[in-house]
Amino acid sequence: MPYVNIQITKDGTTKEQKRALIHGVSQVLSDVLGKHPKSTYVVITEVELEDWGVGGKSLAQYAEEKDK
């Protein structure tokens, strides 16, 4: 029973895109590992830009700097 957690930033991902991610990941696990999609759990966690950082800054800071 595979469990996959996809973490993305909250920046406008649509329901359709999330459904495509869930379907695609389930299909890859089926194709590569032979896991049945009905036993594959996929969880999408959306993280605020302020709570995701790289290079010593939050993504919100990078967005603010880009807008200047």
Is 37 one of the annotated active-site residues of the chain?
no
Tell me how far apart the alpha carbons of residues 20 and 44 are, in angstroms, rounded to a whole number: 12
Q: Which of 1, 2, 28, 50 is catalytic?
A: 2
- Return the bridge partners of 8, or none: 46
The two structure tokens encoding residue 49: 């830009």
What single-letter DSSP state applies at residue 28?
Answer: H
User: Which residues are the active-site residues?
Assistant: 2
